[in-house]
Structure 1
Amino acid sequence: MLSGIGSWLPPRIVTNDELAQRHDTSDHWIRTRTGIVARHIVSPGMPTSHLAEQAGARALQSAGTRDIDAVLLATTTPDRLCPASAPKVAHALGLGGRPAFDLDAVCSGFLYALSTAASIIVSEAADRVLVIAAEAFSTLINPSDRSSAVVFGDGAGAVVLRAGTPDEPGAIGRSVLGSDGSLADLITVLAGGSEQPHATSPDGHDDNRYFSMRGRAVFHHAVNRMSEATRASLAHTGWAAEDVDRIVAHQANLRLLHSVAEQLNIAPERLVVHLDRVGNTAAASIPLALEHANRSGALVPGHRVVLTAFGGGATWGATTLIWPSLTCA
């Protein structure tokens, strides 16, 4: 069950007006198409592990314990291709010696990590697991690509899961997860892996180290898959759409959030929206939204909550929980 929560954002804030000075755009254009007003961006030399450490420390403080058996880090932007960043984060938090590993499901990463952590606890291999989702997504963005530059931001969110009973507030419901590798090119960074280790491709293109996305196709698949997974998760829990107090979906853009709510017949006022302040933070978006909603009072103990996401891979998922009483760090 969920017993602690924390988040951290890089201090540097980039507003729409600042981006408008660099690109052929405006604050109005960005707001009306994405719902985003500002985003936080890492400073040069600030790695993802730093964001993860800060969020993880706050989640541990919120949980009131450092008695952690494992650390999971969901990220698409590890400090290095090798080794994984999670052991470095665990060491920095004073949790060295515990099992620690990275998990990459892009924007679905937090839900995949949450499900993995819950399974580890159910198997009795651990009593408490620290789950962190951290992204320095701005490091993947082509600075000349307006469509991506206005959308993405950096940040980290973290939760502590502990063993409990299924009827306790904070218990993670059955996760519904899925993937479709035929959609791998919808959301991708071509260079840097074994398939294409160098930024310059054989055909001479040198921008393959940057993130690319087929926006319209992603929107279509995201709405359908997130809606399907949410319906399946609600069915497992025995909830109807009208039972849901809050839906916390991957914070991609405002149009996507409203389309998912419409598909599910969930009133838009039940959406938790945080992207206006931070942009699309990929795997970190759901825990960042949860922490903000908990701190602001948009989430209160007893709320029936559904989480859902869609990301590269393609990957998707959903789960449910009754919101517990959590201390803000």
Structure 2
Amino acid sequence: MDIRAIKTFEACVRHGHFLKAAEELRYAPSTVTLQIQRLEADLGASLFVRDGKRVIVTEAGRWLYQEVSTLLKSIGSIRQTVSDIALGDNGYVRFAAIEPVASQKLAAVIADFCKTRPKVEFIMEVSGSRTIAERVRNGELDFGVCSAPKAGLTLEFEPLIEERLGIMLNTRHPLAENDSITMSDLLGQTLLIKEPTCIYRELWETAFNPDEKNDFSCIEVGSFFVIQQMVKAEFGIGIVPMYNGLEQADSVVIRSFADVNPVVTIGFAYKNKNYLGKASLLLMNAIRESFNQFGTDVKKS
């Protein structure tokens, strides 16, 4: 069944006249007649009986009209949805980001994206860099915002920003008076660090040289927010990326290292941009633009 013939049939029934249907569809009258004849031949049933210049719909035609009316509405909806997906106004976006990038920088971008594209089905996860890279490789995520994935995963990586580790201190801590902190200043301190799979934990362990004996104790804490609250409660000092948003006036500050420079590059990890939907590409561009202004949000060392 030719969709053009179905549209012609629907117009003929609605107008009760082949000529008026031809005028609406901008067809020659002979074209309308030919399409109806072919449709009747295809179905093996008469759809109209001529009554002078008008046509009367047969029983088979009346039943078909009810069905094709629903069908044409469905086709219109399908066309609109496909068009919206192509424009990025519909579809699916599945991505993940590490903390604190997710909460400190991406939350506002995601909120704006969802407001302007309410038809897009959106899933955002917060996880570690290793997990994100593996899920992108397995096709479970469209892209991730994380540290550079291992070469064996064969993923593309687009750098966005460099992040530096710092020391989170209660404002009443003696070291809070310093502009920067040396590794020796940490001797005898209780350090609050993330779990071993966290990229910031790996960065910390690389910076302080794990082969050497260090006279300080470490407590693993799985959340930067919890680290912040523990520091605020005057228990320990936190090893955290340097974000102004993690500081709290009159209670928590972040200081840079004086003798080491622990830096990690954060960016997009994805398989192939040609396989990404338009909505995903638009979201990546919005994130990219926000990172172009990221220098004002990241605490400078």
TM-score (norm 2): 0.25
Higher radius of gyration, 1 or 2: 2
Q: TM-score, normalised by structure 1?
A: 0.24
Relative contact order higher in (CA < 8 Å, ≥ 6 apart): 1
